[in-house]
Amino acid sequence: MLELQNISKKYEGFLLEGINLQVATGEFLALLGPSGCGKSTLLKIMAGLITDFQGELLIKKRKLREIPVKERRISMVFQEALLFPHLNVAENVAFGLKMQGVAKKLRMQKAADYLELLELPGYGARAVDTLSGGQKQRVALARALVMEPEILLLDEPLSALDFNLRQNLQGVLKKLHRQKKLTTIFVTHDREEAFYLADRIGILEAGRLKQLGTAAAMLAQPQSAFVASFLGERNILAGDFLAGGLFRSREFSLPTSFTKTGAGYLLIPNQAISITQKAKNSAGEKTGEIVDHYIRNGLYHWELLVEGERLTYRNSQLLGDWGLGEQVGVQLDPHQVLYLAE
pLDDT one-digit tens code per residue, 215-251: 999 999 999 999 999 998 999 999 999 988 899 998 9
Closest among 193, 196, 114 to 158, alpha carbons compared: 193
Q: What is the pLDDT of residue 35?
A: 87
Q: Which residues have CB under 8 Å from 291's CB, separation 6+? A: 303, 304, 305, 310, 324, 325
Say how far apart CA 258 and CA 246 lie, in whole Å. Answer: 8
Residue 187, class by beta-carbon neighbours within 10 Å (0-12 exposed, 13-18 middle, 19+ buried)? buried
H helices, E strands: number in the chain = 9, 20
Beta-bridge partners for 310: 305
Tell whether the model's pLDDT for residue 77 goes beyond 70: yes
Say how far apart CA 46 and CA 53 lie, in whole Å. Answer: 11
Residue 209 contacts residue 327 (beta carbons within 8 Å): no
Can you tell me whether residue 271 is helix, strand or coil?
A: helix
**Residue 11: which pLDDT band, with cuts at 50, 70 and 90?**
confident
Tell whether the model's pLDDT for residue 22 goes beyond 70: yes
pLDDT digits (tens, 9 = 90+) for 160-189: 788 888 888 898 889 889 988 999 999 998
Residue 32 contacts residue 159 (beta carbons within 8 Å): no
Say how far apart CA 44 and CA 24 lie, in whole Å. Answer: 19
Residue 7 contacts residue 57 (beta carbons within 8 Å): yes
Q: Is 144 left (phi over 0), alpha (psi -120 to 50) or beta?
A: alpha
Average pLDDT over residues 73-77: 91
Tell whether the model's pLDDT for residue 321 goes beyond 90: no
Closest among 108, 138, 96 to 120, alpha carbons compared: 138
Average pLDDT over residues 193-209: 94
Tell whether the model's pLDDT for residue 300 goes beyond 80: yes
Residue 289, class by beta-carbon neighbours within 10 Å (0-12 exposed, 13-18 middle, 19+ buried)? middle
**pTM as predicted:** 0.88
The radius of gyration of the chain from alpha carbons, rounded to an integer in Å, stands at: 25
- What is the phi/psi pair of residue 139, to 5°? -65, -45
**Residue 279: which pLDDT band, with cuts at 50, 70 and 90?**
low
Say how far apart CA 218 and CA 215 lie, in whole Å. Answer: 5
pLDDT digits (tens, 9 = 90+) for 35-58: 889 999 999 999 988 989 999 999
pLDDT digits (tens, 9 = 90+) for 124-167: 999 999 998 889 998 999 999 999 999 999 998 888 788 888 88
Average pLDDT over residues 295-306: 92
Q: CB under 8 Å, gap of 24 or more: what pairs does 309-315 form? A: 309/237, 309/249, 309/250, 309/251, 309/252, 311/234, 311/235, 311/268, 311/273, 312/234, 312/235, 312/270, 313/270, 313/273, 313/275, 314/270
Tell whether the model's pLDDT for residue 282 goes beyond 80: no
